Amino acid sequence: MEESIEYKIDMMNKTALLFNETVKKCKFGLSTRQSVFLAYFDMSLEYVNSIYVLVQKNHYGVAAANVRLHLETLIRAIWVLRYASDDVVEKVNNDKFNFPSIAKLVKEIDEVWGTDNSFQRIKSNHWKEMCDYTHSGNLQLAKRYKNGKLEPNYSEELILGILEGTNFILQEFTLHLLDHHECEKEFEIMFNHFSSNLDFN
């Protein structure tokens, strides 16, 4: 188990290196919409780094709790970038906007971005479980007992799922960032790299 998890983290570290080399070559705009998205993207990088550290320290429960927060950041970011009106973007930027439900956000993202309901499927397949870990539900509590004793009980499948989910969210953030700014060469480099990673759908 440790080797496969370590291998996954090593591959993700290589992704981070490639990302740093590639994205810094792209010039980003400074419109309000772009600035808000870049702020969300910066949050994403913090989530990625935090989740990797938590997994390496064997704090899997808290790492799992952060995946849902990371995904919600992605959903809001894409919605602002692709769907929200200029007036709404200004309200978001000035902290005067209450976001719709996640269900409404993913539906509107799929509609405007033509993603074949992929974000709605992600919500349908993963959201309830992720919320359980985030809000200290039964799944979060149960993973802390093994054979009646208070000790970690996290499967390799769950740990790899945390890492793969984190990688998927970073992938979506990166590709939307590069596509929106028409960084075609950089987009192709990162797209080809991400295409070898496991799907999260």
26: phi > 0 → left, psi -120 to 50 → alpha, else beta; which?
beta
| Residue 184, pLDDT score | 87
Neighbours of 159 (CB within 10 A): 20
Q: What is the mean pLDDT of residues 30-50?
A: 91
Six-digit token string for 176:
């939307």
Percent above pLDDT 70 for the chain: 96
CA–CA separation, 181 and 179 (whole Å): 5
Amino acid letter, 147: N
pLDDT digits (tens, 9 = 90+) for 82-130: 999 999 999 999 999 999 999 999 999 999 988 788 999 999 999 999 9
Q: What global pTM score does this model have?
A: 0.89
Percent above pLDDT 90 for the chain: 62
Q: What is the mean pLDDT of residues 159-163?
A: 92
